[in-house]
């Protein structure tokens, strides 16, 4: 009988019932009354700080007021006009560092209006009705290639299609959605939400999806430039940063993003192997998503090992607290020195760190943790392969405020461009690029 205490990497540590419960919604959706009580807490602020904090500029006070007056679907329209992936953003946005952080009730009471959950209430009501609230403008006859069906690409494609352009949407993966489909924790996108949202978005019409088409391999940028009136690049980050310590080749060491993707695509969680002692190297959202899910799969001990102080972790305090509440240990100020084991990893050796004069350095003191599975989550890098030349800035595609690259007729947005790598930022960039493409192609503002 397999259990959390079974040594090594093994499947079925928990019963299917426990797994199902563990991977259900992180926050249960509001029922109607809960939503109206939560909505009533909104003060309908003048020039509301939450709106300013939202990368997609959703009129938050207005949509919340629409919920409180009994029209969640009308509220959803207000959201979706600004952010067509408002449903996913309601689930994955770090609202605690965006809209909810600046909510005046956070200032007043330390308890913000729960904007994310209210947004979910509104957008879920539209998804439940399976109605698409927007209609396509008459065809402009213009054709646009959108590369990457992640948040930036989907947002761009929808806006272009709505404005009457014909969109060809390319993605290297077999399904659209990008990180929504492959890269976030399962409990944030239950019941196949990412796929349902992408399908719902396509209801606008005018978008032809081409999956399994990787830029630079199956299609080139120059081909797209000659076949289409405009090109938008909404590419993801192709490479996982390497872990530079001894023993990284040992069995049991892998990338957190691969683990998250495998988990998201798994049809049977009980068949997914996980270690007894899991160590995640890193301090961002990916590290938290991997660590929490490792715990939920039944790992006995899960540790996030982060090289700087805990308050420097890129993962928000909320995410950190989620991790610790699920039983994950956060071990700050440690960096990997070596991974030990005989072919398969058994222990990780960590050196304590300190910051002196702004420089991180080892103290010379080390500790060892049992580790039969180690996930690397120390960041991802954009790989410009296949993009054939737009100028880069800090390793990403340089763009102006409207998403124009150095190559005329080619726009870009999302994680492949500089700026915060957040779903909601990608949605904004895709939308804004679409508006600029539209203006450029039609001369209409």
Decide: is 46 part of the binding site for other proteins (CB under 8 A): yes
Taking the least distance from each CB to other proteins, the nearer of 47 and 444 is 47
By the rule CB under 8 A, 62 interacts with other proteins: no
User: Looking at 38-46, 125-133, 293-301, 303-311, which segment touches other proteins (CB under 8 A)?
Assistant: 38-46
User: How distant, in Å, are the alpha carbons of 38, 79, 321, 443 from that of 137?
Assistant: 36, 20, 46, 16
Number of residues that bind other proteins (CB under 8 A): 15
How far is Cα 278 from Cα 301, in angstroms, rounded to an integer? 6
Residue number, 114 or 349, with CB nearest to other proteins: 114
Task: Please give the Cα distance from 50 to 104 (Å, whole number).
Answer: 9
Question: Does 101 participate in binding other proteins (rule CB under 8 A)?
Answer: no
Nearer to other proteins, 47 or 356 (CB): 47
49 binds other proteins (CB under 8 A): yes
Q: Taking the complex as a whole, how short is the minimal distance between the CB of residue 318 and other proteins, in angstroms?
A: 21
Cα separations in angstroms, 200 against 25, 75, 171, 193, 230: 20, 17, 18, 10, 24
Q: Which helix (H) or strand (E) holds 331?
A: strand 329-331
Cα–Cα distance for residue pair 387/397, rounded to 1 Å = 9
Q: Can you state the angle between helices 60-68 and 115-129, rounded to 10 degrees?
A: 60
The count of other CB atoms within 10 Å of the CB of residue 370 is 17
H or E stretch covering 429 = helix 423-442
Residue selected from 11, 62, 74, 104 as contacting other proteins according to rule CB under 8 A: 104
Starting at the edge strand found earlier in the chain, the sheet holding 253-255 runs 253-255, 373-377, 277-282, 301-305, 329-331
Query: Given candidates 20, 27, 40, 344, which one binds other proteins under the rule CB under 8 A?
Result: 40
Question: What's the closest the beta carbon of residue 62 comes to other proteins, in angstroms?
Answer: 13
- When the beta carbons of 73 and 366 are compared against other proteins, the nearer one is 73
Instruction: Give the residue, chosen from 3, 15, 21, 44, that forms a contact with other proteins under the rule CB under 8 A.
Output: 44
Query: Which of 37, 385 has the CB closer to other proteins?
Result: 37
In the complex, the smallest distance separating the C-beta of residue 57 from other proteins, rounded to whole angstroms, is: 17
The interface region with other proteins, picked from 99-107, 155-163, 258-266, 303-311 by CB under 8 A, is 99-107
CB of 397 to other proteins, least distance (A): 35
Q: Which of 7, 16, 20, 43 binds other proteins (CB under 8 A)?
A: 43
In angstroms, give the least distance from the CB of 27 to other proteins.
Answer: 20
Q: Is 65 in the site for other proteins (CB under 8 A)?
A: no
Q: Distance (Å, rounded) from C-alpha 128 to C-alpha 7? A: 44
For residue 71, the minimal CB distance to other proteins (Å) is 12
Tell whether the torsion through CA atoms of 180, 186, 187 and 192 is positive or negative. Answer: positive
Q: Is 367 helix (H, G, I), strand (E, B) or coil?
A: strand
Closest separation in Å from C-beta 67 to other proteins: 13
Does 439 sit near other proteins (CB under 8 A)?
A: no
Q: What single-letter DSSP state applies at residue 312?
A: G
Indicate which single residue of 105, 210, 308, 340 sits in contact with other proteins (rule: CB under 8 A). Answer: 105
The residues facing 362 across adjacent strands are 353
Query: Are 201 and 180 a contacting pair, CB within 8 Å?
Result: no
Helix, strand and coil percent figures for the chain, each rounded to 5: 40, 20, 40
Q: Does 31 bind other proteins (CB under 8 A)?
A: no
Distance of closest approach, residue 36 Cβ to other proteins, in angstroms: 8
Taking CB under 8 A as the rule, does residue 45 contact other proteins? yes
Q: How far is CA 187 from CA 122, 361, 388, in A?
A: 19, 36, 38
Give min distance, CB of 100 to other proteins, in A: 14
Binding residues vs other proteins (CB under 8 A): 33, 36-37, 40, 43-49, 104-105, 107-108
């Amino acid at each position: 009988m397999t259990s959390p205490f079974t040594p090594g990497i093994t499947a079925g540590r928990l019963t299917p019932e426990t797994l199902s419960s563990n991977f259900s919604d992180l926050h249960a959706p509001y029922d109607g009354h809960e939503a109206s009580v939560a909505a009533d807490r909104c003060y309908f602020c003048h020039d509301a700080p939450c709106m300013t904090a939202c990368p997609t500029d959703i009129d938050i006070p207005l949509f919340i007021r629409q919920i409180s007056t009994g029209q969640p679907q009308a509220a959803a329209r207000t959201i979706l006009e600004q952010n067509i992936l408002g449903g996913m953003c309601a689930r994955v946005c770090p609202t605690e560092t965006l809209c909810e952080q600046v909510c005046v009730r956070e200032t007043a009471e330390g308890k913000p209006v729960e904007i994310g959950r209210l947004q979910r209430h509104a957008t879920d009501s539209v998804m439940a009705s399976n109605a698409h609230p927007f209609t396509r403008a008459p065809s402009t006859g213009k054709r646009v290639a959108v590369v990457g069906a992640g948040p930036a690409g989907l947002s761009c494609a929808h806006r272009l299609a709505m404005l009457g352009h014909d969109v060809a949407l390319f993605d290297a993966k077999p399904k659209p959605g990008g990180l929504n489909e492959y890269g976030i924790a399962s409990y944030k996108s239950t019941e196949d939400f990412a796929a349902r949202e992408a399908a719902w978005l396509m209801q606008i019409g005018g978008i032809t999806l081409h999956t399994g088409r990787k830029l630079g391999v199956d299609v080139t940028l120059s081909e797209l430039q000659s076949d289409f009136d405009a090109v938008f690049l909404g590419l993801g980050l192709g490479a996982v940063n390497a872990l530079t310590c001894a023993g990284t080749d040992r069995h049991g060491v892998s990338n957190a993003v691969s683990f998250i993707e495998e988990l998201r695509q798994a049809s049977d969680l009980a068949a997914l192997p996980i270690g007894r002692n899991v160590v995640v190297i890193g301090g961002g959202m990916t590290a938290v998503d991997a660590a929490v899910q490792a715990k939920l799969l039944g790992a006995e001990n899960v540790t996030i090992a982060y090289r700087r102080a805990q308050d420097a972790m890129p993962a928000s305090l909320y995410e950190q607290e989620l991790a610790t509440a699920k039983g994950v240990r956060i071990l700050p100020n440690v960096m990997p020195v070596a991974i030990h084991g005989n072919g398969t990893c058994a222990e990780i050796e960590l050196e304590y760190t300190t910051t002196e004069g702004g420089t991180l350095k080892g103290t010379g003191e080390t500790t060892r943790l049992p580790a039969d599975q180690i996930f690397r989550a120390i960041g991802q890098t954009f790989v410009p392969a296949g993009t054939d030349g737009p100028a880069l800035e800090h390793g990403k595609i340089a763009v102006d405020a409207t998403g124009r690259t150095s190559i005329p007729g080619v726009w870009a947005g999302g994680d492949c461009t500089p700026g915060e790598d957040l779903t909601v930022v990608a949605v904004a960039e895709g939308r804004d690029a679409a508006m600029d493409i539209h203006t450029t192609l039609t001369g209409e503002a």
